[in-house]
Structure 1
Amino acid sequence: MSYDLAVWEGERPADGKIARRVFSDLHDRYLDGEITQPPSAGITAYVTALLQQWCDITEDEGETSPWSVGPLIDAASGPLIYFGMDWNRADEASDYAAELADSMGLNCFDVQQNRLRP
């Protein structure tokens, strides 16, 4: 089981309900659409920073990575990344991921709880 976060570029939604709609629209457009785009510069920088904290699961021989997908950058398209992390590591990893997103001016959405983070 994984814990999922969505992080995207753009104006911060006013609340979780609006954030859910924005996420759904972005997901449909960039991840479920017929055409995928390379990740934006901002999302690429975000993924790079995440991987400086913990390695990609595809490179993790000691199984210390919290990410449940890999390569992590493959979970991104355009201005959006939607990624999972191991449930047992979710508290630590999601806190870091949310704080990092905020520091980079990105939106972080908790998919399970339908709320913006941090």
Structure 2
Amino acid sequence: MKSKILFVLCLLAGLMFINAGLDKFFHYMPAPKDMPEKMVKAGMAFAAIGWLMPLVGTIEILGGLLLILPRTRALGAIVILPVLTGILLANISIAPSALPITFALMAVVGWVIIDSRTKYLPMVS
């Protein structure tokens, strides 16, 4: 039962990351109308750096795909963790209204990391 719940949560989180990554390339999701001015300026600054958003989008797509597949879930959690940390810090400092979904994604990725901790031991020993 635990593995099925984890699979569903990883599937949802992975699809969210894939969707966010694809939006970095195709810009099909409109920006929220109530987005704080600081967040709009930060987004424009990141977009001005030509290579940054495609890199983040690629990492989100790759991490989302790896998170969905049970065999590569541990790698996907590690790949997506830096992006998720940046999302968390941006939401804490600029847009706290998005924190609930960020905490939900952090919980899923944290669960995968804790559940896969034996796979990470060779990297740190």
TM-score, structure 2 length as denominator?
0.32
Determine which structure has the larger strand proportion and give its number: 1
Name the one with the larger helix percent: 2
Relative CO higher for 1 or 2, CA cutoff 8 Å, sep ≥ 6? 1
